[in-house]
Structure 1
Amino acid sequence: MTDEDNTEDAGAEILSAEVTASGIRLDKALSDAFPTLSRARLQALLAEGAVSKDGQVLTSGKAKATCGTYTITLPPVAPAEPQPENIPLTVLFEDAHLIVVDKPSGMAAHPAPGCENGTLVNALLYHCGDTLSGIGGVARPGIVHRLDKDTSGVMVAAKTDEAHQGLSALFATHDIERTYIALTRGTPNALSGRIDTQIGRSLHDRKKMAVLKHGGRQAITDYVVQKTYGQPAKASGAPLASRIACTLHTGRTHQIRVHMASVGAPLLGDPVYGSGAAAIPVRAILEELNFTRQALHAAILGFVHPVTGEALRFETAPPADMQALETRLCALD
């Protein structure tokens, strides 16, 4: 969105207002306090975790309001309305309410400053016409969650406001199955485990996310090392690279990239969090393949259809560049 969806993007607009009436539904109180936002938009923002009071994130519009200052973080909106573009899409599922696609690496989820064209939104506007849900704002129609531009894999977008609200609620309560495949430098000390930390803006570089001791938002990733490559010459050494399955229980910006780096196994090719050089044989493979993106693929997405109640689950293989990288890594053994 991120590789995970997040409302803390650079350029986000922060709104604050006082609520003076208590005891009524929170979404109703907020619609009175923020007259420029529709009640449907506020419900979606609540579901996305974009509303807070006294530092506490609020997600239920049905909750009772209390008096005080409420803050809403609006996602950044591109200055121009995105235009439909005839960009081929790999559609895994589509009905009247939502569409599931296998997003290629190199495609941004939605327009942003410096990346106004060639996004998934541009492609969806061409494919779906004007049926995309508008709750996400002018620049983000239909977008409920997102993957980083250079992360490939399964994404769902909403075609109706009902589906958008339902999907946003599922993501907010983490009732979504999400598993990613990552190719990493080295391997964690434990071959499986749970990483449970706070993630927020780095105190040293505001363009990066980081594991924080204080502040930030809880981030939980389960991981399993599926395969290692390049066994070390010394028994005490670590493998040169690994294939790791990461299951998300929260959806913070760059969560997997930050978490894997925090346990000593940054993603191969990651230009931001892949600090430190890979072993010479691995570095040679990356250079030969010109692999310069994070080796991360959203392989599995499962959820209950928010309108029909149908259980849906989609799984795709990593794209050709990651498969080529893995093939070359296998040859190290």
Structure 2
Amino acid sequence: MQDWNSIQVLSNLAITSEYFLQVTFDKSGKVMSSDSGIGPIPSLFDHKEKPIYFADCFLASDWSKYENQRIKAWKSSHQSFLVDLQKINHPDGNTVSTKWEFFFITEDFGTCLGLGHPIEPLRPYNIGLGEFIDGTTNGNELVDILLENKLLGFWDFDPSTKRDYISRGVAQMLGYSEKEIHSMKEISWQKHIHPDDFQELLRDLNLHFKTPGNLPFRKEFRIVSKGNQTIWVVGFGKTTDWDSTGHPQKMQGLLIDITEKKKQEIWLREHHYFLRDLAFQQSHSLRARVANILGVLEILDTEHHTPESRKLLEILKTESKQLDLSLKKSIKESVNQNESWERGIGPL
């Protein structure tokens, strides 16, 4: 699957989204296409062919920022570039901060298709990406991930022939060189799935096919590159073509790198268990010492005391018993919280 076709998949889905923004500029800054959230709202008196330019959509001073990033990416042979822009809201003319990723879609590196979103949303948005990702995760968080260079690429899968195709980004992540990508007719990303995750992923994939397609496909798993590097990814997908008998003919999806997120989860898990055990041991150690103190106080209670020393002894006994009850309660609450936390994080 070619990168431009891959970008179109996400671009077409973005059209129905209130959160996503979309625009295509040529080299001069003229808008070639956009969604309804970009540019001035035409009136009945506007000429149908009236052109819209960058300055109609964003602050004019942001053009140099856009151009600098475009030229820098072009000279570095990058497929896309990131840039923050102040979008003009029409008709009131105020601005909102937005984040964009622009993709080169022509050979002269002049025409760019951009996918953007607000940096600080002022209201809830309908992500509107349909079954492709809706209902599977926090939509706003996912879009942020897509525009932060965490999107590895796209894949196509033919369930009938078991053949799959991947975008250049996924192939590069798997460790294939440009020469290999061009010379090989197809590269199977499924062959790079970690063996410990393969059967469970296959089970979820078959469940998606059996519903049929009503249950979105979303799975976290590991991929092993040619260089034996393990990468955690989350795969989203949906079946886009079914035959007359209800069998899947084509499935499309995307892969997102969540390695850093998984590293944090593993670190939190390990430190959680360490702190849990430490707190448990210390709490029980303290209770043992309190028990020793109570034992000594019971022995002292049998001896003769003055009224003053008897009063102090009773205070010590009362405070020691209260301390023991507090430690016991703290241990019980800690155990309950740990059990709840462990149910929440689930297995890796």
Q: TM exceeds 0.5?
A: no
**Structure having the larger proportion of residues in strand:** 1
**Structure having the larger proportion of residues in helix:** 2
Q: Which has the larger radius of gyration?
A: 2
TM-score by length of 2: 0.24
Structure with the greater relative contact order (CA < 8 A, sep ≥ 6): 1 or 2? 1
TM-score by length of 1: 0.24
